[in-house]
Amino acid sequence: MPSPLFLFGKKESKGARKFVSGDSIFKKLTLISALFILVLALLIFYELYSRSQLSISKFGLGFLTGVEWDPVHQVFGALPFIYGTVTSSIIALIIAVPISLGIAIYLSELAPRRFRSPLSFMVELLAAVPSVVYGLWGLFVMVPWIRDYLQPFLESTLGFLPLFQGPKFGIGMLAGGIILAIMIIPTISAVSREVMLAVPDTQREAAFALGATRWETIRFAVLKYARTGIFGAILLGLGRALGETMAVIMVIGNRPQISLSLFEPAYTMSGVIASEYIEATQEIYLSALIEIGLLLFIITLIMNVLARLLVWRMMRMFRGAKE
Amino acid sequence: MPERGTMQSKSGISKTMAVLAIFIIVIGTVATYYILNPKTTITLNGAGATFPEPLIKKWTSEYNKMNPSVVINYQGVGSGGGIQQIKEKVVDFAGTDAPVKDEEMTTGYLVHIPETMGAVVVAYNIPGLTGSLKLDGDTIAKIFLGNITKWNNERLVALNPELSLPDQNIFVAHRSDGSGTTYIFTDYLSAVSQEWADKVGKGKSVNWPVGVGAQGNPGVAGLVSQNPYSIGYMEIAYASLNNISYAWIKNEFSGEFIEPTLESVSKAAEGFLDQMQEDVRISIVNSPDPEAYPIASFTYILLHQELNVYGEKMNFEKSRALLNFIWWAVHEGQSYSEALLYPRLPPEVIVICEELLRSITYNGQPIITS
């Protein structure tokens, strides 16, 4: 690795002529592009922070614990939205992780070779469907199904839990969680599949050589080896679930409340911003909405950084193993 | 292999030539257009409320057919955005559902011109019900407060003796996005129910005591039509275009139940003509006119009282074009209302609009003198 100063051509006074033209200019241009992303993220953070000052100074930490959201009387608390975002994402993970891992294991280990490409393609195609389409499908197909079949079933079997009591509208936290699960399955399964394919074949061969069954090979040679990467994939899915807006707005019921029941309506952070931002004319109201944006930015940033770090660590491990 | 290289560079050159040729043709066409059409057009920009957007878009296209030299743009960015843009002098006129208070006019006085009216209907979905549901203000408030939870509640039965109301829970749907429709509806509930005024109040977004929120008129309509035994509120045009049943509302002054129609909405303004002489920024819910539908509101066009605040972007000629367009909109423009399901402004209100338009000046000079 040359020193970073190389990029600015400072140490290259001798013999640098052959680099002067295309290469060094191109390198600088790409460096600027890379820095641009960093600057952009910092500017977004700064802008969100400075524009939520009014709300931060008025409500302080009480903003995080307040449960009231009343634009008419200008009382703003973010807890119901944080609760809605986190809970719907957790429901989504509970549903999506087992299914996604099943898809990934099948595609990387078990599926006949000629099915692998078309099936992987289908999974990636699902990731490209716009979220508002999922929302429409959710509202017109999934919600009536939840109302007429899933909720009565859950109530009759698990109704002793407070989670599955309450009004049976179809719309609510459960619907929000399920639609998110459907939306993050492609992300989690595609990344997990890549990670499993990256496990060196020597691992599998070693396991087979020791007399392991197929299941044992997958469990000890593949899953154990790939676990950090899979965890990263799950966090990527979680990141998408936390930020998803349109599809959730359409099925979650948009009611800022904290209720144990999954049948009750709830509200998410991105949902309230998208819904109320346009017509928020008072300054403190706008500032409170921007502060919710700031909180969401921080939460998703942490999740994504964590996910990236895990995936990178895993990749480095493989490189070490192969050499 | 070298042959292939030359082939590639040849095709590369012809590609560059093709791109250049297209570029030249485009530039040439644009230049010719501007040479043949010297710049005589006046462009007027507006932004704001989405509710009157279809009507304003119709006006701009019809007006442009008659006056090809005036081009008018309107962007439905929401009332809040419209108010902000006219305060920052980005647009020449703005549309808003809720009026701007004096103390909020930080960058010059804004004249409010009522351009049309809106009405909100209480829509419901009760399977098997024949005939229209009848409601009064206090009962609606109690349903949306969560005090009345069953369709066969005695108050509902007393209002609808001829209907057989089911023993079912009421599913309440409301808007989740900030909207003028919510403002009109909660303004009405605050006017007819003290409990509503104290507990919830009025606004574009409120802290709903019960119910499920959905995005936009289509969202609420979707909730109501999909959930049996539901109730919600929406823009009158949206409900009638989508064949959603809506209730007749009791006029508190005559005791009659009024069907929401374009005429009965128009009547709501006629109950407030005296107050309008002093200030048009009034609420017209719960109108004292005996035939008026009570959940109605004006929607306004905002104009700067003194048009020289725009500096170089405005001149006398442009300000006259602007006022001529608005003048036309409140007169001839009203004939396009019914087809788009907007009520017509009553003639008395148009007279008030004329006076308001005459009060607008450029450098202190009145613009419309006739």
Long-range contacts of A205-214 (CB under 8 A, 24+ apart): A214/A109, A214/A110
Residue range B311-336: mean pLDDT, rounded: 93
Q: Are residues B287 and B333 in the same domain?
A: no
For the segment A148-165, what is each residue's pLDDT rounded down to a tens digit? 999 999 988 988 888 888
Q: Are residues B171 and B249 in the same domain?
A: yes
Residue A136 in this model has a pLDDT that exceeds 60: yes
Q: Are residues A139 and A94 in the same domain?
A: yes
**Beta-strand relationship, B134-135 and B248-250:** parallel
Mutate to test the interface with B, among A140, A148, A268, A279 (most CBs of B within 10 A): A279
Do the Cβ atoms of A287 and A53 come closer than 8 Å?
yes
Residue range B84-96: mean pLDDT, rounded: 93
Q: Are residues A41 and A78 in the same domain?
A: no
Give A315's contacts (C-beta < 8 A, 6+ positions apart): A198, A229
Residue B81 in this model has a pLDDT that exceeds 90: no
Distance, CA of B272 to CA of B281 (rounded, Å): 11
pLDDT band at B9 (very low <50, low <70, confident <90, very high): low
For the segment A29-46, what is each residue's pLDDT rounded down to a tens digit? 999 999 999 999 899 999
> How much is the pLDDT for B37?
61
CATH of residue B170's domain is 3.40.190.10
Residue A5 in this model has a pLDDT that exceeds 50: no
CA distances from A168 to A171, A302, B144, B149 (A): 8, 36, 19, 15
Evaluate whether residue A61 is within a structural domain.
Answer: no
CATH of residue A171's domain is 1.10.3720.10
- Shortest Cα distance, chain B CAs vs residue A276, angstroms: 5
Q: Are residues A42 and A71 in the same domain?
A: no
Which range of residues forms the domain containing residue A34?
4-51
pLDDT band at B36 (very low <50, low <70, confident <90, very high): low
Which range of residues forms the domain containing residue B358?
42-115+299-366
Residue B181 in this model has a pLDDT that exceeds 50: yes
The pLDDT > 90 percentage for chain A reads: 47
Token pair belonging to A133: 């389409």
> Pick from B245, B269, B296: which residue ends a domain?
B296
Q: Are residues A144 and A245 in the same domain?
A: yes
> How much is the pLDDT for B32?
77
Token pair belonging to A87: 């809970």
Q: Are residues B236 and B272 in the same domain?
A: yes
Q: Are residues B11 and B124 in the same domain?
A: no
Mutate to test the interface with B, among A147, A281, A282, A284 (most CBs of B within 10 A): A281
Enumerate chain A positions whose Cβ falls within 8 A of a Cβ in B. Answer: 68-73, 139-140, 143-144, 147, 167, 169-172, 249-250, 253-256, 265, 267, 271, 274-281
Q: Are residues B196 and B170 in the same domain?
A: yes
Q: For chain B, give me the number of helices (H) and strands (E)?
A: 13, 13
In the DSSP assignment, the letter for residue B242 is T
Q: Are residues B51 and B168 in the same domain?
A: no
Evaluate whether residue A155 is within a structural domain.
Answer: yes
Say whether residue B48 is in contact with chain A using an 8 A CB cutoff.
Answer: no
Q: Are residues B187 and B285 in the same domain?
A: yes
- CA-nearest residue to B77 within chain A is A278
CB atoms A281 and B169 under 8 Å: no
Distance, CA of B221 to CA of B250 (rounded, Å): 23
For the segment A48-87, what is each residue's pLDDT rounded down to a tens digit? 999 999 999 999 899 999 999 999 999 999 999 999 999 9
Number of domains in chain A: 2
* Mean pLDDT score of chain A: 87
Evaluate whether residue A295 is within a structural domain.
Answer: yes
Distance, CA of B219 to CA of A251 (rounded, Å): 10
In the DSSP assignment, the letter for residue B309 is G
Q: Are residues A215 and A102 in the same domain?
A: yes
Evaluate whether residue A30 is within a structural domain.
Answer: yes
> How much is the pLDDT for B5?
44
- Shortest Cα distance, chain A CAs vs residue B202, angstroms: 7
Do the Cβ atoms of A173 and A87 come closer than 8 Å?
yes
Evaluate whether residue A56 is within a structural domain.
Answer: no
HEC secondary structure over B23-87 = HHHHHHHHHHHHHHCCCCCEEEEEEECCCCHHHHHHHHHHHHHHCCCEEEEEECCCHHHHHHHHH
Averaging pLDDT over each range in B39-43, B44-48, B95-99, which range is the top one?
B44-48
CA distances from B150 to B146, B168, B186, B254 (A): 10, 6, 22, 28
Q: Is the CA virtual torsion B172, B176, B177, B179 positive or negative?
A: positive
SS3 label, residue A14 = coil
Residue range B16-24: mean pLDDT, rounded: 85
pLDDT band at B115 (very low <50, low <70, confident <90, very high): very high
SS3 label, residue A309 = helix
Residue recorded with tokens 């004319």:
A281
Distance, CA of B201 to CA of A72 (rounded, Å): 6
Say whether residue B81 is in contact with chain A using an 8 A CB cutoff.
Answer: yes
Q: Apex CA B336: angle with CA B332 and CA B341, to 5°?
A: 140
CB atoms B81 and A73 under 8 Å: no
Evaluate whether residue A58 is within a structural domain.
Answer: no
Residue range B275-284: mean pLDDT, rounded: 91
Do the Cβ atoms of A57 and A262 come closer than 8 Å?
no
Name the residue facing B201 among A72, A169, A278 (closest C-beta).
A72
> How much is the pLDDT for A319?
65
Helix (H) or strand (E) holding B310: none
pLDDT band at B4 (very low <50, low <70, confident <90, very high): very low
- Shortest Cα distance, chain A CAs vs residue B221, angstroms: 12
> How much is the pLDDT for A17?
53
Name the residue facing B206 among A71, A167, A250 (closest C-beta).
A71
The better pLDDT of the pair B31, B320 is held by B320
The better pLDDT of the pair B217, A93 is held by A93
Window 157-186 of B: residues touching A by CB (8 A cutoff) are 169, 171, 176-180
Residue range B70-81: mean pLDDT, rounded: 89
Q: Are residues B155 and B284 in the same domain?
A: yes
CB atoms B223 and A267 under 8 Å: no
Q: Are residues B141 and B255 in the same domain?
A: yes
Residue B164 in this model has a pLDDT that exceeds 80: yes
Which chain A residues have a beta carbon less than 8 Å from that of B79? Answer: 279, 281
* Mean pLDDT score of chain B: 90
Q: Are residues A44 and A163 in the same domain?
A: no
pLDDT band at A19 (very low <50, low <70, confident <90, very high): low
The better pLDDT of the pair B148, A308 is held by B148
pLDDT band at B2 (very low <50, low <70, confident <90, very high): very low
Q: Are residues A196 and A268 in the same domain?
A: yes
Distance, CA of A256 to CA of B12 (rounded, Å): 60
Number of domains in chain B: 3
Do the Cβ atoms of B267 and B116 come closer than 8 Å?
no
The residue type found at B75 is Q
Evaluate whether residue A235 is within a structural domain.
Answer: yes
SS3 label, residue B220 = helix
Residue A15 in this model has a pLDDT that exceeds 60: no
SS3 label, residue B243 = coil
- Shortest Cα distance, chain B CAs vs residue A265, angstroms: 7
Greatest CA span in chain B, whole angstroms?
95
Q: Are residues B204 and B340 in the same domain?
A: no
> How much is the pLDDT for B141?
97
Q: For chain A, give me the number of helices (H) and strands (E)?
A: 16, 2
Give A20's contacts (C-beta < 8 A, 6+ positions apart): A9
Do the Cβ atoms of B339 and B235 come closer than 8 Å?
no
Distance, CA of A247 to CA of B215 (rounded, Å): 11
B32 CB neighbour count, 10 Å cutoff? 10
Q: Are residues B173 and B244 in the same domain?
A: yes
Q: Are residues B218 and B290 in the same domain?
A: yes
The pLDDT > 70 percentage for chain B reads: 95
Evaluate whether residue A60 is within a structural domain.
Answer: no
